[in-house]
């Protein structure tokens, strides 16, 4: 059980400010994802919460208690690292038990907890192996298991899937989602640069940029009501179409944003007309790149399976209720 | 199928032939690249070694190197029975001066390498930590190693001088000794003097090799231990030491090879002291000073065999240990 509060938390390395005043509340038992482009400070923020880095100024509270100066091991946290950080000379069992042996738990208790965690992650048949004998996915599960065994109040993940290949990433993502479901009392904080991971795992997402929080909200809030041009562009795949200039001025905005699924091919009543310059068929969806005279061609998710040849002139229409308008500073106009 | 000539159109059949041709090409290139090294090694290592071994089976003297006659194992061991019935044994293997030198060499090597390993690792741990001016300290610590051995031996000879040396002066004024000690001349202290200088000189090298090993250990391993709340001393023995061990083993081999053939430091610091004479020193003495060239060659040959044996033993024991660790 842990509720985490950050109050104007700052971190600088020498004269370089990495975290520039973050206010954030992470609710008890919540799955919070920090997402942002590389260098936005998301990993640093996680390391501040873990206690692996000192907070320069501001307060970090666990259940209302200030923990700025508390050693990592006393915060009731467990962390899963990007590179797994398994001890290569220890067997899986010892890797999982290492932290507990030192916590002076009895041998029976250790074995019980390690085996329980191993069963939960389907690695109970691997306990006698060395990390180098495991695949990447198995190693990551051992790393997660090692964290579970500690019975933490707060579970921290630092880009745990980025060393895995695409298929394993999806599978392990599901495991983590399941884990969150099974460990309802545990607050989880998860760092990723992959917005798909953020969307699929999070209860709430915190979008960071240049050491500042851009927006905090549920995945659908961020997707449907981004409060900045940056969030609108960062969340969602494929990326939201942005159109500037005259076309946008027609909507009384500096920039308009519209997602590809909110564009329809409509030759009868088009808003814009243009040539199909490229098309991508993903099997389930067909994406058309249409040159409507904006800087970049706009992406349209095509309904139905009728093939439209490259170079064809078509009409498209945005669904006005799903159109986002932004001013010069990137703030939304509502 | 094996005798397919190039240009034959059948694809399945040509593939293995082409691959082996590629393989042959690689082998040819490798040989070409290795050739200069092999020539150099033959000239400076294999040929002298072979000559030395050959001389050890002759009665060659320094005055006429070409004139030696084959005497078999006499330089190593010869047993003669006089007409009076008295048995006389001669040769390196029954020479007490030789066995004294072997004992000195091993005593020196084991003590110096052990202390250097421990100190070197400690220094490396300090240098691996982050602190201000680390680059400067890293460079400064290498200075003893960068000084040529002859220079540092001379330097320490002055420090250890019985009349004017700083060591005696300091120990006297601290009241630790009541009379001046002839550190390098006294049989009971000469070896300590040599050990002190060697450890002073070579610990930086050891530290450098250990540091390279320490830097290979990923930082997040320590962070994981920190989150687990593992005591730093336990982290050292359970995480750092096992992970740095391979690098440490190599460092120890390097140092052991060096220490077993120690010559210059002893030759300069404690010349002609039976307490410090090592295998290298005694074989040079016989080869040059005493004009027992063949006898000296026999000692050099034994020196070669003993060092080879020691290193093979070390590597073998090291492997056994590595296997045992897996339990």
Q: Which residue of B has its CA nearest to A82?
A: B220
Q: Note whether A87 contacts B221, CB cutoff 8 Å.
A: yes
On average, the pLDDT of chain A sits at 91
Check for a shared fold between A4-232 and A238-333. Answer: no
Q: What is the pLDDT of residues A185-194, one digit of tens each?
A: 899 999 999 9
What pLDDT sits at residue B17?
56
Q: Note whether B227 contacts A78, CB cutoff 8 Å.
A: yes
**CA B121, CA B128: separation in Å to the nearest integer?**
10
Q: What is the pLDDT of residues B215-272, one digit of tens each?
A: 999 988 999 999 988 888 989 999 999 999 988 988 898 899 889 989 999 999 998 8
Counts for chain A of helices (H) and strands (E), in that order? 9, 19
Of the candidates A84, A60, A105, A5, which has an alpha carbon nearest to the alpha carbon of residue B229?
Answer: A105
Q: Chain A within 8 Å of B231 (Cβ-Cβ)?
A: yes
Counts for chain B of helices (H) and strands (E), in that order? 14, 2
**CA A333, CA A68: separation in Å to the nearest integer?**
39
Q: Note whether B229 contacts A85, CB cutoff 8 Å.
A: no
What pLDDT sits at residue B16?
54
Instruction: Find all residues with CB under 8 Å of A24, minimum gap 6, and list them.
Output: A4, A5, A6, A9, A206, A213, A216
What pLDDT sits at residue B315?
82
> Considering CB atoms only, which of B218, B234, B242 is closest to A102?
B234
> Considering CB atoms only, which of A73, A89, A146 is closest to B226?
A73
| CA distance to partner chain A, nearest, from residue B323 (Å) | 11
Two tokens at A173? 């993502």
DSSP E strand stretches across chain B: 78-81, 87-90
Give the start-to-end residue ranges of the domains of chain A.
4-232, 238-333
Which band of pLDDT confidence, cut at 50, 70 and 90, is reported for residue A103?
Answer: low
**CA B112, CA A321: separation in Å to the nearest integer?**
81
What pLDDT sits at residue A202?
95
Angle subtended at Cα B63 by Cα B57 and Cα B66, rounded to the nearest 5 degrees? 50
User: Topology of A238-333 in CATH?
Assistant: OB fold (Dihydrolipoamide Acetyltransferase, E2P) (2.40.50)
> Considering CB atoms only, which of B226, B238, B326 is closest to A72?
B226
What pLDDT sits at residue B327?
35
Percentage with pLDDT > 90 across chain A: 66
> Considering CB atoms only, which of B218, B227, B242 is closest to A73?
B227
> Considering CB atoms only, which of B224, B231, B325 is closest to A85?
B224
| CA distance to partner chain A, nearest, from residue B301 (Å) | 41
What pLDDT sits at residue B11?
47
- Tell me which of A260 and B314 has the higher pLDDT: A260
Q: What is the DSSP letter of B70?
A: B
Find the range with the poorest average confidence among A30-34, A96-100, A216-220, B301-305.
Answer: A96-100
Rounded CA Rg of chain B: 27
Q: Note whether B227 contacts A50, CB cutoff 8 Å.
A: yes
Q: Note whether B220 contacts A81, CB cutoff 8 Å.
A: yes
**CA A149, CA A118: separation in Å to the nearest integer?**
9
What pLDDT sits at residue B15?
53
Residue B321 has pLDDT above 70, yes or no: no
What pLDDT sits at residue A3?
92
Q: What is the pLDDT of residues B154-181, one digit of tens each?
A: 999 999 998 889 999 999 999 998 888 8
**CA A214, CA A327: separation in Å to the nearest integer?**
16
Q: What SS3 state is found at A246?
A: helix
Residue A47 has pLDDT above 90, yes or no: yes
**Which of B222, B227, B245 is the best residue to mutate to test the A interface, defined by the most A CB atoms within 10 Å of its own CB?**
B227
Q: Tokens 């298991």, residue?
A: A145
Q: Note whether A98 contacts B231, CB cutoff 8 Å.
A: no
Q: Residues A269-291: what's their mean pLDDT?
A: 89
Which band of pLDDT confidence, cut at 50, 70 and 90, is reported for residue A224?
Answer: very high
Residue A274 has pLDDT above 70, yes or no: yes
- Tell me which of A100 and B288 has the higher pLDDT: B288
Q: Alpha carbon of B260 to those of A37, A189, B106: distances in Å? A: 57, 57, 7
Angle subtended at Cα B246 by Cα B242 and Cα B247, rounded to the nearest 5 degrees? 110
Of the candidates A234, A143, A190, A194, which has an alpha carbon nearest to the alpha carbon of residue A43?
Answer: A190
**CA A224, CA A234: separation in Å to the nearest integer?**
12
Which band of pLDDT confidence, cut at 50, 70 and 90, is reported for residue A285?
Answer: confident
> Considering CB atoms only, which of B227, B231, B325 is closest to A72?
B227
Contacts of A130 in chain B (CB under 8 A): 326
Q: Chain A within 8 Å of B229 (Cβ-Cβ)?
A: yes
Instruction: Find all residues with CB under 8 Å of A14, minimum gap 6, and list them.
Output: none
- Which CATH architecture is the domain A4-232 placed in? 3-Layer(aba) Sandwich (3.40)
Contacts of B221 in chain A (CB under 8 A): 85, 87
> DSSP labels for B234-268?
HHIIIIIHHHHHHHHHHHHHHHHHHHHT--HHHHH
Question: What part of B 306-325 touches A (C-beta under 8 Å)?
Answer: 325
> Considering CB atoms only, which of A73, A85, A88 is closest to B229?
A73
On average, the pLDDT of chain B sits at 87
Q: Note whether A73 contacts B220, CB cutoff 8 Å.
A: no
Q: What is the pLDDT of residues B113-125, one digit of tens each?
A: 999 999 999 999 9
Q: What is the pLDDT of residues B46-88, one digit of tens each?
A: 999 999 999 999 988 888 888 888 988 889 998 888 888 888 8
Contacts of A98 in chain B (CB under 8 A): 225, 228, 230, 238
Count contacts between A and B (CB, < 8 Å): 58
| CA distance to partner chain B, nearest, from residue A111 (Å) | 17
Q: Chain A within 8 Å of B242 (Cβ-Cβ)?
A: yes
| CA distance to partner chain A, nearest, from residue B207 (Å) | 23
Q: Residues A167-178: what's their mean pLDDT?
A: 89
Contacts of B239 in chain A (CB under 8 A): 87
> Considering CB atoms only, which of B218, B229, B230 is closest to A85?
B218
Two tokens at B258? 């060096």
Q: Residues A204-229: what's their mean pLDDT?
A: 95
**CA A105, CA A47: separation in Å to the nearest integer?**
27
Residue B10 has pLDDT above 50, yes or no: no
| CA distance to partner chain B, nearest, from residue A86 (Å) | 7
Two tokens at A265? 């091919």
Q: What is the DSSP letter of B61?
A: B
Q: Note whether A102 contacts B229, CB cutoff 8 Å.
A: yes
Contacts of A81 in chain B (CB under 8 A): 220, 223-224
Contacts of A70 in chain B (CB under 8 A): none
């Amino acid at each position: 059980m842990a509720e985490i509060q950050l109050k104007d938390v700052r971190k600088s390395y020498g004269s370089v400010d990495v975290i520039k005043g973050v206010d954030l509340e992470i609710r008890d038992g919540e799955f919070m994802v920090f997402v942002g482009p590389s260098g936005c400070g998301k990993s640093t923020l996680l390391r501040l919460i873990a206690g692996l880095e000192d907070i320069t100024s501001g307060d970090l509270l666990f259940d209302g208690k200030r923990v700025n100066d508390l050693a990592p091991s006393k915060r009731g946290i467990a962390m899963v690292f990007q590179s797994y950080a398994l001890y290569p000379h220890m067997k899986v069992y010892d890797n999982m038990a290492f932290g507990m042996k030192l916590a002076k738990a009895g041998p029976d208790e250790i074995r019980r907890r390690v085996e329980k965690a191993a069963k939960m992650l389907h690695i109970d048949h691997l306990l006698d192996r060395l990390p180098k004998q495991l695949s990447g996915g198995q190693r990551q599960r051992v790393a997660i298991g090692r964290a579970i065994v500690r019975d933490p109040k707060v579970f921290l993940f630092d880009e745990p899937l980025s060393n895995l290949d695409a298929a394993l990433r999806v599978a392990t993502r599901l495991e983590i989602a399941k884990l969150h479901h099974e460990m309802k009392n545990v607050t989880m904080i998860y760092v990723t640069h992959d917005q798909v991971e953020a969307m699929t795992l999070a209860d709430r997402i915190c979008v960071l940029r240049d050491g500042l929080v851009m927006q905090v909200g549920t995945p659908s809030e961020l997707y449907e009501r981004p409060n900045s041009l940056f969030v609108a562009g960062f969340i969602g795949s494929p990326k939201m179409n942005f159109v500037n200039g005259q076309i946008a001025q027609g909507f009384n905005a500096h920039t308009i944003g519209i997602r590809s699924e909110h564009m329809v091919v409509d030759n009868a009543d088009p808003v814009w007309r243009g040539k199909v310059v490229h098309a991508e068929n993903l099997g389930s969806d067909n994406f058309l790149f249409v040159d409507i005279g904006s800087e970049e061609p706009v992406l349209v998710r095509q309904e139905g399976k009728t093939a439209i040849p490259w170079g064809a002139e078509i009409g498209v229409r945005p669904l006005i209720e799903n159109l986002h308008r932004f001013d010069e500073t990137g703030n939304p106009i509502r | 199928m094996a005798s397919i000539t190039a240009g034959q159109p059948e694809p399945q059949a040509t593939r293995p032939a082409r691959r082996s041709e590629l393989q042959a090409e690689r082998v040819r290139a490798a040989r070409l690249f290795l050739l200069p090294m092999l020539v150099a090694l033959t000239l400076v290592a294999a040929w002298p070694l072979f000559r030395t071994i050959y001389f050890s089976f002759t009665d060659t003297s320094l005055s006429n190197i070409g004139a030696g006659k084959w005497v078999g194992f006499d330089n190593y061991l010869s047993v003669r029975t006089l007409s009076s019935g008295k048995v006389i044994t001669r040769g390196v293997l029954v020479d007490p001066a030789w066995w004294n030198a072997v004992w000195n060499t091993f005593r020196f090597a084991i003590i110096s390498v052990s202390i250097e390993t421990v100190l070197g690792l400690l220094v490396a741990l300090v240098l691996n930590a982050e602190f201000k001016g680390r680059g400067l300290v890293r460079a400064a610590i290498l200075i003893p190693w960068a000084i040529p051995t002859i220079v540092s031996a001379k330097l320490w000879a002055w420090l250890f001088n019985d009349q004017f040396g700083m060591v005696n002066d300091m120990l006297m004024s601290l009241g630790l000794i009541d009379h001046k000690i002839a550190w390098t001349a006294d049989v009971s202290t000469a070896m300590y003097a040599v050990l002190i200088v060697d450890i002073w000189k070579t610990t930086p090298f050891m530290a450098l090799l250990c540091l390279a090993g320490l830097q290979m250990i990923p930082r997040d391993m320590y962070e994981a231990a920190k989150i687990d709340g593992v005591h730093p001393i336990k982290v050292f023995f359970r995480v750092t030491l096992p992970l740095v061990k391979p690098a440490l083993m190599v460092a120890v081999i390097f140092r052991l090879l060096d220490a077993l053939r120690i010559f210059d430091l002893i030759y300069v610091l404690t010349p002609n002291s039976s307490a410090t004479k090592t295998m290298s020193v005694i074989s040079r003495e016989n080869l040059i000073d005493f004009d027992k060239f063949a006898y000296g060659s026999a000692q050099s040959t034994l020196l070669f065999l003993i060092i080879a044996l020691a290193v093979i033993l070390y590597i073998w024991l090291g492997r056994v240990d590595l296997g045992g660790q897996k339990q």
